[in-house]
């Protein structure tokens, strides 16, 4: 029923979008044993920490420009086939350094993948550079400096991912100031693994126009009201939250409660194959769980495009 609905995805980590098939092929190519995080059925993890280990294990198998071109092209072609017209991917200079390719080759490869997917299906895509919170404030600041000092037509935002329970948001404020001054759109993971305090800190210290998740703000009605009043868009990822046991099932997820409270809500897949999801699955499950029709679902896509870190001419075309 949701196949024909135009979709947008504004919260997906590119390394987390690598399918088990692609990762197996990469593992063969480089002669790496992946059995600690991948089996016949897919990725293997049991909590956020082991999820991050599986994520890092897969990321380490992408080492050349062509590897990254293939990663981005495969993911974007797949979601284009699911009806997606626009996507933003989180890209991580830290993972580029760790895999040995370095940031220039990483961006060049991803850029090639974006271009190939656009030519094949028409899908538009932009990149959001992220710092990794548990690597500490200095690393996140370095990621921000990189994003700010390296103009790239397809890098339009800056964010922070990783372990939300690590450190204090205030210690990362400088990184976001650097990115904001460079004209980049601002988003931050908050309200996924930690509660309302974490979301409030993110709003106060980072002043993002979007929150990565923000779902656990639901625990504080005054905070939900503030998010609605300030027009901060939520990059909600219900399938991810359910898989990581942030909520006890789709019917317990606050997506509909947030929408009813007047919050700008969007549907996203986060790290799709890790969580048994895809953007198409998120739309389908939202329709089944909360009874949304095609017009409502299209409305979430429009909200995502309105909140997107994209030039106005492209936004107008997509709307």
Catalytic residues: 192
The span from the CA of 110 to the CA of 312, in Å, is: 23
Question: Pick from 37, 43, 55, 176: which binds ligand HPA (CB under 6 A)?
Answer: 55
The span from the CA of 56 to the CA of 196, in Å, is: 28
Question: 92: which 2 tokens?
Answer: 């991580």
Q: Considering the rule CB under 6 A, would residue 162 count as an interface residue with ligand HPA?
A: yes
Question: Pick from 94, 124, 164, 270: which binds Zn ion (CB under 5 A)?
Answer: 270
Q: Considering the rule CB under 6 A, would residue 192 count as an interface residue with ligand HPA?
A: yes
Query: If residue 306 lies in a helix (H) or strand (E), which one and from where to where?
Result: helix 294-307
Q: Considering the rule CB under 5 A, would residue 282 count as an interface residue with Zn ion?
A: no
The span from the CA of 37 to the CA of 25, in Å, is: 15
The dihedral through the CA atoms of 19, 308, 247, 81 has a sign that is negative
What is the smallest separation between the CB atom of 16 and ligand HPA, expressed in angstroms?
A: 5
Question: Hey, how many other C-beta atoms are within 10 angstroms of the C-beta on 83?
Answer: 17
Nearer to Zn ion, 90 or 292 (CB): 90
- Where in 214-253 is the site for ligand HPA (CB under 6 A)? 240
Nearer to Zn ion, 200 or 210 (CB): 210
Is residue 152 marked as binding? no
Question: 81: which 2 tokens?
Answer: 């086939």
The dihedral through the CA atoms of 212, 218, 220, 225 has a sign that is positive
The count of chain residues that interact with ligand HPA, using the rule CB under 6 A, is: 10
Is residue 13 marked as binding? yes
Q: Considering the rule CB under 5 A, would residue 88 count as an interface residue with Zn ion?
A: no
Q: Please calculate the CA angle 33-35-37 and round it to the nearest 5 degrees.
A: 115
What is the smallest separation between the CB atom of 90 and ligand HPA, expressed in angstroms?
A: 7
Q: Considering the rule CB under 5 A, would residue 235 count as an interface residue with Zn ion?
A: no
Q: Please, where are the H alpha helices in 43-190? A: 48-59, 65-81, 93-99, 103-121, 137-149, 173-181
Nearer to Zn ion, 103 or 269 (CB): 269
Residues that constitute the known binding site: 11, 13, 189, 270-271
Residues forming the site for ligand HPA (CB under 6 A) = 13, 16, 55, 161-162, 189, 192, 240, 270-271
């Amino acid at each position: 029923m949701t196949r024909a609905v135009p979709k947008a995805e504004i919260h997906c980590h590119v390394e987390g979008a690598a399918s088990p098939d692609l990762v197996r092929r990469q593992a063969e190519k480089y002669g790496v044993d992946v059995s600690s995080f991948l089996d016949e059925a897919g990725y293997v993890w049991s909590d956020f920490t082991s999820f991050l280990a599986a994520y890092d294990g897969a990321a380490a198998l992408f080492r050349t420009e062509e590897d990254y071109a293939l990663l981005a092209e495969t993911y974007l072609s797949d979601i284009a086939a699911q009806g997606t017209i626009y996507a933003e991917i989180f890209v991580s200079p830290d993972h580029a350094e760790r895999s040995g390719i370095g940031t220039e080759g990483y961006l060049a490869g991803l850029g090639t993948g974006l271009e190939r997917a656009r030519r094949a299906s028409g899908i538009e895509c932009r990149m959001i550079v992220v710092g990794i919170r548990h690597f500490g404030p200095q690393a996140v600041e370095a990621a921000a400096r990189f994003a700010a000092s390296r103009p790239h037509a397809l890098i339009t935002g800056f964010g922070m991912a990783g372990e939300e329970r690590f450190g204090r948001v205030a210690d990362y404020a400088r990184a976001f100031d650097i990115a904001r001054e460079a004209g980049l759109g601002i988003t931050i993971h908050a309200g996924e693994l930690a509660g309302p305090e974490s979301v409030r800190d993110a709003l106060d210290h980072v002043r993002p126009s979007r929150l990565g998740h923000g779902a656990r703000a639901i625990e504080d009605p005054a905070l939900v009201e503030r998010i609605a009043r300030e027009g901060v868009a939520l990059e909600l990822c219900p399938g991810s939250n359910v898989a990581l046991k942030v909520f006890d099932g789709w019917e317990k997820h606050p997506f509909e409660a947030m929408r009813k409270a007047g919050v700008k809500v969007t549907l996203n897949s986060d790290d799709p194959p890790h969580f048994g999801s895809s953007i198409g699955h998120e739309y389908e499950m939202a329709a089944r769980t909360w009874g949304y029709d095609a017009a409502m679902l299209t409305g979430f896509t429009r909200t995502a495009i309105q909140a997107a870190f994209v030039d106005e001419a492209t936004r107008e075309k997509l709307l």
